[in-house]
Structure 1
Amino acid sequence: MHTSTTSTAALEPWSIEQLQQATQGYWLNDKKPAGQIKRILTDSRDAEAGDAFLALKGERFDAHDFIAQVAAQGCEIAIVSRPVDADICQLVVEDTRLALGQLGAYRRQQNPQLKVIALTGSSGKTTTKEMLGSILSRLAPTLVTRGNLNNDLGVPVMLLELRPEHQYAVMELGASHQGEIDYTSKMVQPHVAGIINIGTAHLGEFGGRDGICRAKSEIYAHISETSIIPAADDFAEVIRAAVRTEKSLSFGAGGEVYASDVVLDAQSSSFTLNTAQGSKTVQLPFAGEHNVENATAAAAFALAIGIGLDDIVAGLEQAVGAKGRLNFIPYKDYLFIDDTYNANPGSMRAAAEVLAQQQGIRVMVTGDIGELGSSAAIEHYKLGRDLVSVKGINFVVAVGEFAPAAQEGARSTQYGKKMQAFLNQEQALPFLIRLIETHQPQPMSFLFKGSRFTHMETLMAALMEKL
């Protein structure tokens, strides 16, 4: 388990009393370290003098096995759930996973100056989080969830980075099982929080969208000020029923914060942002209608935490997408769109609409979508059917175990010939090269997307190398 906790800024040190108070642990043989603790880490490779190494135990690994190694690296403290034979001070706790949560929660409580936003949803979380980070960090030091540190381990790891100068925190909360968001949102103690949407990501774990909605709605139990609601979502009424705060704010069509006069360009968009504070035009440096929706969500969260409309617009106009989220890369005579960070059925369809806006021959290269459980084959079938039907897309190249299911879906339409299916990237690459050779010298636009485990960026890089 290598969740890197390293941050460039100097972290707020811990005293041994705080460490013990937060975790309710005991020092083995009453052997305590001297001095302050620089940082708490879960990655043994980074542990050094002044650190406390927290030994997590997963299904396939046990970091207690690395304690002798971290001691040799100069680390003087280990937080363990069972004593280990090593020359190191050991703080013994009941469960190191829960201790990490307790340490994160303790750090959060120690920063009462902080205004905290927490958000969850099936798709768009990361982009909305980046937009909020852009709005708030213009105004004051802001802690923003990095990468995908959004689960029961990642959230406390982020909270450990809180420092007294932080005025805002934007925390992304993910869920892969019931109860996870209840656990992380209780730790985060948000002032403003809510769901962006209920899609079909993680269908497998939750047995349907109702289950997803129940899991995400756990966030509403822990909000101190304002609950955010996606007005246009199929589950809006169910979500409203979960709200417990007096104040709420809705966004999207039919909501209190909404977009009108939307103009979608190939690599950007513009719209009028309508709010109770007034309306303003936004020139958004993101393509796609789904990103206009994400910007509207970001505006609602920011308004609820007291940010003015002018600051919101300035922040949205300066926002930059996360790596692998619809990044436009002009390369030689071609356009590559890197959307390889992750995928679910909703975001796959949204990406297709963005590709359809581009120049020349448009090729969508898709990897499998994970975490769909028993509905995987039918979801890929529906996806294949829908992607080839998007007007303006010339070819869809599906790669992976479920590519044949996607191809069956494509063949159920009159556009079946647009789809090619390959079981792996090695088979798909020669086809993509031939496609380029056949269409020279016409301009071409490629969009690569798949779930994280499919590493579609590898295929994109391999194709670019051949050009």
Structure 2
Amino acid sequence: MHTSTTSTLPLEPWSAEQLAEATQGYWYLDHAPQGDIKRILTDSRHAESGDAFLALKGERFDAHDFIQQVVDNGCQIAIVSHPVDINIHQLVVKDTRLALGYLGAYRRAQHPHLKVIALTGSSGKTTTKEMLGSILSRLAPTLITRGNLNNDLGVPMMLLELRAEHQYAVMELGASHQGEIDYTSNLVQPHVAGILNIGTAHLGEFGGREGICRAKSEIYAHINPAGISIVPAEDDFVDAIRQAIQTKKTLSFGVGGNVFATEIELLAQSANFIMNTPTGNVQIQLPFAGLHNVHNAEAATAFALAIGISLNDIVIGLETAQGAKGRLNFINKANHLFIDDTYNANPTSMRAAAEVLAQQQGIKVLVMGDIGELGASAAQQHYMLGRDLVAQGVHFVVAVGEFAPAALEGARSTQYGKKMQAFLTQAQALPFLMSLVETHQPQSMSFLFKGSRYTHMETLMADLMEKF
């Protein structure tokens, strides 16, 4: 199987002239290096001989301070925003962050035959990307956004990994501020692009869902005019989304769209349904749990059809797809089930996770960490989550973190308040979870762990699993 995520093949080299041309920079004292430059790196710890170290400057750090360190490691080339008094080849550019974008765009332009998909959305991006990766990488070498390299630094870093054999690229674009997707989609130059949904992730930065819709709709501005815009037909912002479209062709997914699932059967760890498309209807056995993953499969099907993939190849790709680490991974230990959904969280995905847990066996326990980036509405969002989660088909909800008390208040506003326990720290929650297991022995239990990335809910899951 061709996949870029574990590739050890060498990257396409750069010449000193190409670097200067791409970045619109100049070699300090006309002191350009000879020979090929193998990689461009922003992490000083990994820069070595043959690499060019690009010194980024952030609010709290300045990588120009690490140039002596990369010289000591054998790296002889640096891309800088001002000359430094160190003996190293220096390509001086106006702004190293923008230079990284120029380099990514330059590399992208060198691959005119590459077919590029770009996608964004408040939830489901990673899973939809993995589904598309499974569909496409069977057919030809495919570059797929790795991890969360989906911002104004990560997207050009991914583009730098393009190689001659790549025929497809699946680029995930994230938005943490207005203008970011406009910038990254311009670098990516997609043939097919679209939004999965407008949710409540990053509410704080955008001041409401209208702002999120505006930010994500920027993805439609840079699609090849002959390309196709993908539209979420079910989304309540679909009319605003359609106004941002500039291509003649569109393809929509979800109820009321061109690509939609019917006869949906949700099982504990999978789903069966009929996928209805303009090119025919097919039965799919999806190895992912939850209705939200059926929606992700609808989206993946629409994106794949739009770049000319056959329905047969889409079915094979979806039926053999694997989830990303920390995305609804099912782990059996003793006679208990642990569902690792700790990669990240937003209010929509937390509710979807509870629905998946409700389908499992035995005593069902949802362990939820805080959700970040909600701004001023954080306490209210956690209150509403607490209220809604206890009403779903789970036996216990264990909230952990700063906003656990807000979630507990929400739970207590319903008749199911006794289902929830709140703890400020994982250390406080662990003994309660252990006591739950002891109380319910010998019954089997199903635990689902989920929270925003910074909460590291996988640590609490691992601590509990160690006790068995």
TM-score scaled to structure 2, two decimals? 0.98
Look up the match of 2:450. Answer: 449
What displacement does 1:466 show?
Answer: 1.4
Look up the match of 1:206. Answer: 206
C-alpha distance in 1, partners of 2:222/2:28? 35
C-alpha distance in 1, partners of 2:8/2:81? 29
Alignment counterpart, residue 384 of structure 1, candidates 376, 386, 392: 386
C-alpha distance in 1, partners of 2:84/2:425? 44
What displacement does 1:86 show?
Answer: 1.2
C-alpha distance in 2, partners of 1:109/1:81? 24
SS in 2 for 1:396: strand
C-alpha distance in 2, partners of 1:181/1:132? 20
Look up the match of 2:234. Answer: 232
Equivalent residues of 1:7, 1:161 under 8 A apart: no
C-alpha distance in 1, partners of 2:441/2:48? 55
Look up the match of 1:267. Answer: 269
Alignment counterpart, residue 346 of structure 1, candidates 345, 348, 365: 348
Look up the match of 1:192. Answer: 192
In structure 2, list runs of 5 or more residues that go unmatched.
Answer: none
What displacement does 1:60 show?
Answer: 1.2
Look up the match of 1:396. Answer: 397
Deviation digits for residues 305-329 of structure 1, max 9, x if unmatched? Answer: 0001000000000100000000000
**5 Å matches for 1:95-244?**
95-224=95-224, 225-244=227-246
Paired AA for residue 20 in structure 2: Q
C-alpha distance in 1, partners of 2:85/2:344? 41
Deviation digits for residues 42-87 of structure 1, max 9, x if unmatched? Answer: 1111111100000011111111111011011111100001111211
SS in 2 for 1:414: coil
Deviation digits for residues 187-221 of structure 1, max 9, x if unmatched? Answer: 00000000000000000000000000000000000
Paired AA for residue 98 in structure 1: L
Look up the match of 1:21. Answer: 21
What displacement does 1:421 show?
Answer: 0.2
What displacement does 1:9 show?
Answer: 2.1
Look up the match of 2:459. Answer: 458
C-alpha distance in 2, partners of 1:8/1:215? 35
C-alpha distance in 1, partners of 2:106/2:7? 19
SS in 1 for 2:45: helix
C-alpha distance in 2, partners of 1:109/1:405? 50
Matched, 1:75 2:75: yes
Look up the match of 1:307. Answer: 309
What displacement does 1:332 show?
Answer: 1.2
C-alpha distance in 2, partners of 1:334/1:457? 16
Deviation digits for residues 136-170 of structure 1, max 9, x if unmatched? Answer: 00100000000000000000000000001000000
Look up the match of 1:410. Answer: 411
Paired AA for residue 102 in structure 2: Q
Paired AA for residue 249 in structure 1: L
What displacement does 1:6 show?
Answer: 9.7
Deviation digits for residues 14-51 of structure 1, max 9, x if unmatched? Answer: 01111000000011111111101001001111111100
SS in 1 for 2:466: helix
In structure 1, list runs of 5 or more residues that go unmatched.
Answer: none
Look up the match of 2:87. Answer: 87
C-alpha distance in 2, partners of 1:84/1:367? 45
Look up the match of 1:419. Answer: 420
Moved over 3 A (4+): none
C-alpha distance in 2, partners of 1:381/1:389? 13
C-alpha distance in 1, partners of 2:46/2:270? 40
C-alpha distance in 2, partners of 1:255/1:113? 29
Deviation digits for residues 313-359 of structure 1, max 9, x if unmatched? Answer: 00000100000000000111110000000000000000000000001
Equivalent residues of 1:191, 1:223 under 8 A apart: yes
Paired AA for residue 245 in structure 2: V
Equivalent residues of 1:120, 1:216 under 8 A apart: yes
Equivalent residues of 1:366, 1:448 under 8 A apart: yes
Alignment counterpart, residue 257 of structure 1, candidates 256, 259, 262: 259
SS in 2 for 1:46: coil
User: For residues 167 and 119 of structure 1, do their structure 2 counterparts lie closer, same or farther at Cα, with a shift above 3 Å needed?
Assistant: same
C-alpha distance in 1, partners of 2:334/2:74? 49
Paired AA for residue 109 in structure 2: Q
Paired AA for residue 37 in structure 2: I
C-alpha distance in 1, partners of 2:142/2:132? 10
Look up the match of 2:333. Answer: 331
C-alpha distance in 2, partners of 1:32/1:186? 30
Deviation digits for residues 331-388 of structure 1, max 9, x if unmatched? Answer: 1111000000000000000000000000100000000000000000000000000000
Paired AA for residue 50 in structure 1: G
**5 Å matches for 1:260-299?**
260-299=262-301
C-alpha distance in 2, partners of 1:61/1:329? 40
C-alpha distance in 2, partners of 1:327/1:52? 38
| Number of aligned residues | 462
What displacement does 1:8 show?
Answer: 2.4
Look up the match of 1:440. Answer: 441
Matched, 1:61 2:85: no
C-alpha distance in 2, partners of 1:330/1:448? 14
Equivalent residues of 1:50, 1:76 under 8 A apart: yes
C-alpha distance in 2, partners of 1:220/1:10? 33
What is the CA RMSD across the aligned residues, in angstroms?
Answer: 0.9
Paired AA for residue 394 in structure 1: H
C-alpha distance in 2, partners of 1:388/1:8? 47
SS in 1 for 2:241: helix
Equivalent residues of 1:108, 1:159 under 8 A apart: yes
Paired AA for residue 463 in structure 2: A
Deviation digits for residues 116-143 of structure 1, max 9, x if unmatched? Answer: 0000000000000000000000100000
